[in-house]
């Protein structure tokens, strides 16, 4: 069977969670120190450790078949690359920021100004669409220092917690785009590799779905089963199991993690007791 070549970041923000995701998918990687190309024993896959910033080009050229990469980078490089699946980690945004003393949050502040960035294409396209003409100064890192050393009037860079901006006396004003890690695919893939990719995506979806869901169990008086079931957002219908104590049942179901806090009070009001929430390892629907 053809091996699917997957690129993941060699080191940096995406590395740990990319490997963890593969592990959760049952794909175990034995890294030798400084080994940049690694085979996997239990899945037809070969892993290449690359720089995040080089990955879009490798995908476009077909040197790798798929990759885990920051969505913002695919946008910046503007390549013909298909995003197959959002992966939910390394969430960030690309934003404009100004020295905190600047009084306005308006984009018009940047008219005729100098902006330092590592994302020149993203910025150029955004400013063009908004009818703003600025002087874009490209630097490859430590962008937040630029206004402090008189290099620029503002910056355009990645923001997550906002702490780097804060520590450097800057304030986020306009968000250009939101990003997270994604699984992306080269434009051409053989049907054999497509089949391997399908298996991988199936596993990833099961892992992601499970991460966002919880198994919920509670005890309910029999006459309240109907009411409680109506409150529960369920997959099909809840599992109802009689308890040893007459007149009581245990209700089991699966609930979105985010919805849990919304419905918990309603469940209690409708007679649910002894509510347990349990993590789910994998979920195949």
Ligand X SMILES: O=P(O)(O)OC[C@H]1O[C@H](OP(=O)(O)OP(=O)(O)O)[C@H](O)[C@@H]1O
Give me the residues that bind ligand ATP (CB under 6 A), please. 9, 12-14, 51-53, 70, 72-73, 90-92, 158, 160, 179
Q: Which residue among 115, 159, 206, 210 contacts ligand X (CB under 6 A)? A: 159
- Looking at beta carbons only, is 10 or 259 nearer to ligand ATP? 10
Taking the C-alpha atoms of residue 152 and residue 144, their distance in angstroms, rounded to an integer, is 10
Q: Which stretch binds ligand X (CB under 6 A): 20-28, 157-165, 192-200, 247-255?
A: 157-165
Which DSSP helix (H) or strand (E) runs through 92? strand 92-99
From the list 27-35, 152-160, 176-184, 270-278, the region that binds ligand X by CB under 6 A is: 152-160
Which DSSP letter does residue 158 get? E
Number of shown-chain residues binding ligand X (CB under 6 A)? 11
What is the length of the chain?
Answer: 285
Find the binder of ligand X among 144, 154, 182, 214 (CB under 6 A): 144
53 binds, among ligand X, ligand ATP, none (CB under 5 to 8 A by kind): ligand ATP
Token code pair at residue 90: 């390394």
Contacts of 7 (CB under 8 A, 6+ apart): 47, 48, 49, 50, 55, 58, 59, 64, 66, 67, 68, 69
Q: How far is the CB of 66 from ligand ATP (least distance, A)?
A: 16
DSSP code per residue over 114-156: EEEES-HHHHHHHHHHHT---EEEE-SS-GGGGGGGTS-SEEE
> Which of 123, 210 has the CB closer to ligand X?
123
**Residue 144: CB minimum distance to ligand ATP, A:** 11
Write the interaction track for ligand X spanning residues 101-140; mark x where CB under 6 A is met and - where it is not: ----------------------------------------
Dihedral of alpha carbons 172, 159, 85, 61, sign: positive
Question: Which residues lie closer than 8 Å to 81 by C-beta, 6 or more apart?
Answer: 56, 59, 60, 74, 184, 185, 186, 187
Check residue 265 and give left, alpha or beta (phi > 0: left; psi -120 to 50: alpha). alpha
Residues numbered 183 to 202 that lie near ligand X (CB under 6 A) are none
Question: Is 76 a residue that touches ligand X (CB under 6 A)?
Answer: no
Among ligand X, ligand ATP, none, what does residue 90 contact (CB within 5–8 Å per kind)? ligand ATP
| Angle, vertex CA 228, rays to CA 227 and CA 229, nearest 5 | 90
Under rule CB under 6 A, residue 150 binds ligand X: no
Chain residues in the site for ligand X (CB under 6 A): 13, 141, 144, 157-164
């Amino acid at each position: 069977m053809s091996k699917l070549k997957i690129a993941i970041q060699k080191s940096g923000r995406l590395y740990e969670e990319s490997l963890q995701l593969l592990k959760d998918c049952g794909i175990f990687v034995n890294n030798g120190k400084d080994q940049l190309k690694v085979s996997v024993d239990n899945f037809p896959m070969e892993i290449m450790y690359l720089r995040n910033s080089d990955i879009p080009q490798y995908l476009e050229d077909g040197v790798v078949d798929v990759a885990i990469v920051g969505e913002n980078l695919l946008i910046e490089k503007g390549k013909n690359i298909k995003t197959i699946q959002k992966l939910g980690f390394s969430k960030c945004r690309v934003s404009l920021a100004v020295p905190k003393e600047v009084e306005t949050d308006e984009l018009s502040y940047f008219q005729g100004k100098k902006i330092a960035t590592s994302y020149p294409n993203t910025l150029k396209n955004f400013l063009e669409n908004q009818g703003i003409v600025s002087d874009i100064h490209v630097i490859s890192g430590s962008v937040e220092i630029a206004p402090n050393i008189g290099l620029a009037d503002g910056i355009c860079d990645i923001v997550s917690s906002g702490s780097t901006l804060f520590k450097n006396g800057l304030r986020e004003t306009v968000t250009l785009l939101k990003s997270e890690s994604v699984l992306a695919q080269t434009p051409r893939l053989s049907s054999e590799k497509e089949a391997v990719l399908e298996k991988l995506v199936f596993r990833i979806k099961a892992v992601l779905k499970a991460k966002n869901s919880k198994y919920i169990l509670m005890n309910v008086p029999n006459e309240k089963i109907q009411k409680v079931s109506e409150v529960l957002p369920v997959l099909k219908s809840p599992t109802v199991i009689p308890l040893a104590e007459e007149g009581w049942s245990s209700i089991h179901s699966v609930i979105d993690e985010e919805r849990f806090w919304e419905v918990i009070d309603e469940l209690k009001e409708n007679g649910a007791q002894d509510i347990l929430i349990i993590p789910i390892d994998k979920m195949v629907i």
